[in-house]
Amino acid sequence: MNETTRIDNLLLQTMNGDAWHGPAVFELLRDIPAEKAAFHPVEDVHSIWELVEHMTTWQKVIIRRMNDEDYEPSDEENFPDVTADSSDTWEKAVEELYRTYQALREKIIHFPDEKLGEAVPGKHYTHYIQLHGLIQHNLYHAGQIAILKKKLM
């Protein structure tokens, strides 16, 4: 098994299921209604919906960087304001997270192992570190979502 396949497997488990640590991101999101996803149960803490938008942004950033683009998201892209709380809009946000996750997996699967050791454009770290960092980032936010979900449901 090559290294990009191992990284893809880690991403798959942390986002889609059968994760060692507990519920994966999409398992956590499965039964959260829009009004709960948009609610801020803790002052100065992002809502579940904001976290989903943030995770979507960073998956898109990583794809761009894997395409050799020196890219940094704006503050508005990093944590976009969530002004809607309709079920349709929430479902679209989760679907966009899933679509970008699938696009990232496709990019990882076809990314040459030899490039993993190369520096990310404009950064002092490698693609290998960045991909593992994204998985850690997603797990960090999965933990936040799990806590917020317990508080809300």
DSSP result, the chain? --HHHHHHHHHHHHHHS--SSSS-HHHHHTT--HHHHH--SSTTS--HHHHHHHHHHHHHHHHHHHTT------HHHHS-------HHHHHHHHHHHHHHHHHHHHHHHTS-GGGGGSBPTTSSSBHHHHHHHHHHHHHHHHHHHHHHHHHH-
pTM for this prediction: 0.95
**Is the confidence at residue 115, as pLDDT, over 90?**
yes
Q: How many distinct structural domains can be found in the chain?
A: 1
Q: How far apart are CA 32 and CA 9, in angstroms?
A: 26
The more confidently predicted of residues 47 and 1 is 47
Which pair of tokens denotes residue 79?
Answer: 């944590």
Cα Rg, the chain, nearest whole Å: 16
- 58-78 average pLDDT score: 96
Q: What is the span of the domain harbouring residue 66?
A: 3-152
Q: How far apart are CA 107 and CA 122, in angstroms?
A: 20
- Give the domain CATH number at 139: 1.20.120.450
**% residues pLDDT > 90 (the chain):** 86
The more confidently predicted of residues 42 and 112 is 112
